[in-house]
Amino acid sequence: MNEIINPEVEPKEEKITLGDVLKKSRVNQGLSEQDVADSLNLKKDIILALEANDFEKISVATYTKGYIKAYAKLLALNESELLQMFYQQQPVEHHSQTKLKSFSQRTKQEAHDNRLMFVTYLILFIVVALIVVWWWQRENLEQTETISLNHAANSTEFNLTHEPYYQLSPYSYV
């Protein structure tokens, strides 16, 4: 009745790892490591590292997650389940997410820049409009002066054949 359970004899539960799932699915679909590597445009070593759960060979966790997603799409597996397996297999430091930089400051800067560009274009438009008005008025003034000179030349009051109203005296020296 008193049974002693030996932990060494007790069958160990083997956890199914991410690499096991990927490798089993790849083999079931009849694909080689090189076929997968070629399809994903990766090195064969990366495929082997993923299937061996040797994520340290892959430089950054972000790349590893991307490779897992691409591999899952290729094998028609659920990406989120595989990523969850990846997180469970990683030490705590890997799945702590870094705080992302807020882009609200950037958005404010872009809004300010947009307003500044609008004001710049408005000033440029006003300057061009003023130049056009000035040119148009100058043309009208020149036409008016030409018309009045033509009118004066044709009038009887202004005759160029008349001698000037002052006459030089015979004693004046020129």
CATH number for 81? 1.10.260.40
Q: Are 21 and 14 in contact (CB under 8 A)?
A: no
pLDDT tens-digit profile of 74-105?
999 998 888 888 888 876 554 445 566 666 66
Which residues does the chain have with pLDDT short of 70? 1-14, 91-105, 149-174
Number of structural domains in the chain: 2
Question: Is residue 10 included in any domain, yes or no?
Answer: no
**Cα separation values, 97 from 49, 103, 115, 137, Å:** 23, 17, 36, 68
CA distance linking residue 143 with residue 122, whole number of Å = 32
Tokens of 27: 């083999």
**Which of 71, 89, 107 represents a domain boundary (last residue)?**
89
pLDDT, position 95: 46
pLDDT, position 112: 77
**Which of 48, 72, 89 represents a domain boundary (last residue)?**
89
Question: Is residue 76 included in any domain, yes or no?
Answer: yes
Question: Is residue 128 included in any domain, yes or no?
Answer: yes
Question: Is residue 109 included in any domain, yes or no?
Answer: no
**Whether residue 130 sits in one domain with residue 69:** no
CA distance linking residue 65 with residue 55, whole number of Å = 10
Question: Is residue 102 included in any domain, yes or no?
Answer: no
pTM: 0.47
pLDDT, position 94: 46
Q: Are 50 and 67 in contact (CB under 8 A)?
A: yes
Ordered alpha helix ranges (H), 29-103: 33-40, 44-51, 61-75, 79-89
**Whether residue 85 sits in one domain with residue 22:** yes
**Whether residue 60 sits in one domain with residue 24:** yes
CA distance linking residue 82 with residue 72, whole number of Å = 8
Give the domain range for residue 43: 18-89
**Whether residue 79 sits in one domain with residue 40:** yes
